[in-house]
Amino acid sequence: MIDKFKTEQLSTYVYETRTAMGNDAARHTAKCIRNLLEIRDTISIIFAAAPSQNEFLQALTLQPNIEWNRIIAFHMDEYVGLPADAPQGFGNFLYRSIFGKVPFKSIYYLNGNATDINQECKRYADLLNTFIPDMVCMGIGENTHLAFNDPHVADFNDPKIVKVVDLDQQCRQQQVNDGCFESIDQVPTHALTLTIPTLFRPLHVFCIVPGINKSQAVLHTLTEPIGARYPSTILRKHPNAILFLDKESASKVIDFSSSTIKKH
């Protein structure tokens, strides 16, 4: 770690490289998992699916002494209408990255191809109410979205647990920037997402955000007024949230020549 600071209740840790960031985020997450399993028979965790999570998820699967068979896994969003076997599907991403690598007790997938999409929202909401998540491992979008809660659909008091949303242009372009799709016309226009209150509800939040493309979003997260215009600002109100950055994603908030937080 090369720097750390706190913005309201949000702790931020900064690392030299993506690999160092991912490794330490995994160590913190693993420690939290082990501590929770000392006091509970099972726990539930929500995972994000995105290239930004690659280093973290790989490192997490290698952490020692985690009783995966006592952990229930959820994911936080899924495209609507993408072929079930599409590699860009978030369930498929998580299967390749972690769900298929360690022996979870149960894994619950969102189905973006359900015949009745509203019923699918209810099914998943019921599961989340039955196995209330203890932790969430997430990222932040280029437009500061959490899951697929883009600014125009984000609601900090959302009565829903899971909902269908349309994706804004910046969000869809990010999927191209990440290399997931060749062009924006291939990116689905709608998705299922866990809502902001659902993501805020777990006792522990680990937010992993590397890369220069996320530097503006990190700046907004840490400096803008808390509100749905920049959904990730809500993290500053969570009592147990840690934001993990690499040098690139932190470049707009830290002056590395003097190791001081920039003034804005």
- pLDDT of residue 186 exceeding 60: yes
Distance separating alpha carbons of residues 192 and 118, to the nearest angstrom:
10
- Residues paired with 47 in a beta bridge: 75, 137
Strands 71-75 and 162-166: unpaired
Higher model confidence: residue 136 or residue 175? 136
Amino acid residing at 106 = S
- pLDDT of residue 42 exceeding 70: yes
CA-closest candidate to residue 14, choices 240, 203, 252, 237: 252
The pLDDT, as a whole number, for residue 152 is 96
Q: How many helices (H) and strands (E) does the chain have?
A: 7, 13
- Please state which of the four CATH numbers 3.40.470.10, 3.40.50.1980, 3.40.50.1360, 3.40.50.150 is assigned to the domain occupying 3-261: 3.40.50.1360
Distance separating alpha carbons of residues 160 and 189, to the nearest angstrom:
20
Instruction: Kindly state the average pLDDT of the residues 135-161.
Output: 97
CA-closest candidate to residue 189, choices 206, 211, 164: 164
Q: What three-state secondary structure class fits 211?
A: coil
DSSP tag of 71: E
Domain locations along the chain: 3-261
Percent of the chain's residues with pLDDT above 90: 91
What mean pLDDT, rounded, does the chain reach? 95
Task: Identify the band that residue 258 occupies on the pLDDT scale cut at 50, 70 and 90.
Answer: low
The pLDDT, as a whole number, for residue 90 is 95
Distance separating alpha carbons of residues 165 and 144, to the nearest angstrom:
16
Instruction: Kindly state the average pLDDT of the residues 125-131.
Output: 98
| Cα 61 versus chain centre, distance | 17
Environment class of 225 (CB within 10 Å of its CB; exposed 0-12, middle 13-18, buried 19+): exposed
Instruction: Kindly state the average pLDDT of the residues 86-98.
Output: 96
